[in-house]
Amino acid sequence: MKMDELVFPAEDGKAVVVCDDREMRGKAVLRLFELGCVLKPMRLQSGDFLCSPRVCVERKSAGDFESSIVDGRLFAQAGELSKQYASPLLAIVGTDFPRIHANAVRGAVLSLCTDFRIPVLFVEDEAGLAELLYALAQREQLRSKGPQQLRFQKPSLSLEQSMQFIIESLPGIGPKTALELLKHFGTVENVFTAEAEELQGVDGIGPFKAEEIRLLLSKRFQKA
């Protein structure tokens, strides 16, 4: 089945949840099945569970949320979700974050909510995630007047948006700092060739972050 062939809800009126095929062995999917949800596996470009044409949920365990903050994946993923869906959400399974300070978790959550407009929801376990997804699917689909056809098309970016997106892929760089870097250096090329000391001249870039950026840009790739 292709993306543009999906219809919400199912013909029998049951709620539909499209699951990224990499999530199909998870406990949340089993619980969704028990709840009577129609499950449709598919490889999603972004997010893990699609509850309607506009609502996509990215699932992260507490440990993965920590790791994505540390390695910079979190905000790149958030940017992609925001570009593809009108109402993306992030669901975090668990509330134990032993590896990073609570302020770092709080700051990441606030950035997602304010900079990306992605609500962050915490659930206790996979069963709680399933019940959240089922409630979302019901709310989105069963209250609608007739089936909703999904028209999936990745929006094209302007040149300036593409430049910002590239800079946001650097470790620890969110939308605000990416714009500051582009304003300061003028071009993506100038950002990439700037020395660590020059990078520190931009608000939000300290010595550690500057060294992280330079390491990423200068390290020779070694295939595993």
| Rounded distance between C-alpha atoms, residue 69 and residue 66, angstroms | 5
Burial class (CB in 10 A: 0-12, 13-18, 19+), 130: buried
Q: What are phi and psi of 132, to 5 degrees?
A: -65, -45
Tell me, yes or no, whether 11 and 109 share the same domain: yes
Last residue of a domain, one of 119, 149, 179: 149
- For residue 151, the model assigns a pLDDT of 47
Closest by CA position to 123, among listed 23, 19, 28, 15:
28
Last residue of a domain, one of 126, 149, 172: 149
Confidence tier at 18 by pLDDT (50, 70, 90): very high
Q: Which residue has the higher pLDDT, 3 or 204?
A: 204
Are 178 and 161 in contact, with CB atoms under 8 Å apart? no
Domain assignment of residue 62, given as a range: 3-149
* E strand or H helix at 162: helix 159-168
Tell me, yes or no, whether 9 and 120 share the same domain: yes
Name the residue with tokens 């990441």.
108
Residue 184 included in any domain: yes
Tell me, yes or no, whether 170 and 145 share the same domain: no
- For residue 193, the model assigns a pLDDT of 93
pLDDT tens per residue across span 152-198: 444 556 788 888 888 888 887 878 888 999 999 999 999 999 999 99
| Rounded distance between C-alpha atoms, residue 28 and residue 124, angstroms | 12
Distance, C-alpha 140 to centroid of its chain: 20
Are 76 and 44 in contact, with CB atoms under 8 Å apart? no
Tell me, yes or no, whether 140 and 177 share the same domain: no
| Rounded distance between C-alpha atoms, residue 207 and residue 213, angstroms | 10
Residue 59 included in any domain: yes
What region does 162 belong to: left with phi over 0, alpha with psi -120 to 50, or beta? Answer: alpha
Tell me, yes or no, whether 139 and 168 share the same domain: no
Residue 224 included in any domain: no
Tell me, yes or no, whether 96 and 140 share the same domain: yes
For the segment 130-141, the average pLDDT, to the nearest whole number, is: 92
Closest by CA position to 52, among listed 12, 17, 5, 80:
17
Residue 141 included in any domain: yes
Residue 154 included in any domain: no
Q: In CATH, what number is assigned to the domain containing residue 69?
A: 3.40.50.10130
Write down the pTM of the prediction: 0.62
User: What does 149-160 look like in DSSP terms, one character per residue?
Assistant: E----PPPPPHH
Residue 223 included in any domain: no
Confidence tier at 144 by pLDDT (50, 70, 90): low
Tell me, yes or no, whether 93 and 183 share the same domain: no
174-179: list long-range contacts, CB under 8 Å, 24+ apart: 174/75, 174/111, 174/115, 175/75, 175/79, 175/115, 175/116, 176/115, 176/204, 177/202, 177/203, 177/204, 177/205
How many domains are contained in the chain?
2
Tell me, yes or no, whether 22 and 126 share the same domain: yes
Last residue of a domain, one of 121, 149, 177: 149
Beta bridge partners of 89: 57
Q: In CATH, what number is assigned to the domain containing residue 171?
A: 1.10.150.20
Tell me, yes or no, whether 55 and 113 share the same domain: yes
Burial class (CB in 10 A: 0-12, 13-18, 19+), 117: exposed
Pair of tokens at residue 8: 């919400």
Tell me, yes or no, whether 70 and 117 share the same domain: yes
Are 53 and 151 in contact, with CB atoms under 8 Å apart? yes
Distance, C-alpha 26 to centroid of its chain: 19
pLDDT tens per residue across span 26-40: 999 999 999 999 999
Tell me, yes or no, whether 137 and 209 share the same domain: no
For the segment 118-122, the average pLDDT, to the nearest whole number, is: 95
Tell me, yes or no, whether 187 and 119 share the same domain: no
